[in-house]
Amino acid sequence: MDIEAARKRVGQLIVELQALERMLSEGSPSFPDAMQELVSKGLCLNCKEPLSSKKTRAVRGNHESCYREIMREISAGKLTESEAISQGLILPAVGGGRPTKMTRVKELVQNKALTDKLAEGAAVGKKKAKGEAKNE
C-alpha cells in the first residue's frame, strides 16, 4: 500500500469513527410528529410519492430504492441512522425480520450434529476407561 492510499484509508476511517461517535452519543432517536402524517397517508418519507406507486416493497416508510439511497449515505458516513430517523427520513426499526422456521432439514442436521458430538464423547470416554483399566 503506497502512502497516498494509506492517507485516503485513514481519512475514511476518521469519517467512520466520527459517525460512530455521533451515533453512540445521541442515544435513541425520536421520529418527528410532523412526518407521521406522511406515514398515515401511505407516502414515501423520502420522495413523498405513494408507496403503492412502485411495485417494490416498502422498507421503514420508504420505497425500497429510496431506502437504499439513504442507507448508501449512512454507509458513506455522511449521515447516521439516528440522524435519518430524527430528520424523518426513515422510520425506527421494529422487530428483527422474519422468524426462522425449524424445517425438517434443519432439525435433521441439528440432531445429526448432536448425535455426532455424543458419539465422539462416548468414544473418548471408552478410550479413557480402557487407559485407566490398563493402568490398574
Question: Distance (Å, rounded) from C-alpha 126 to C-alpha 120?
Answer: 10
The confidence score (pLDDT) of residue 135 equals 60
Tens digit of each residue's pLDDT (9 = 90 or more) over 42-89? 999 999 999 988 788 889 999 999 999 999 999 998 988 888 998 999
- Domain residue extents for the chain: 3-86, 101-136
Q: Is the pLDDT of residue 131 over 70?
A: no
Contact, 84 vs 75, CB < 8 A?
no
pTM here? Answer: 0.52
The confidence score (pLDDT) of residue 53 equals 80
Tens digit of each residue's pLDDT (9 = 90 or more) over 16-36? 888 777 767 666 677 888 888
Residue 83: burial class (beta carbons within 10 Å; 0-12, 13-18, 19+) = middle
Confidence of residue 102 (pLDDT cuts 50, 70, 90): low
- Mean pLDDT over all residues of the chain? 82
- Higher local confidence (pLDDT), 133 or 68: 68
What is the rounded average pLDDT of the residues 110-122? 77
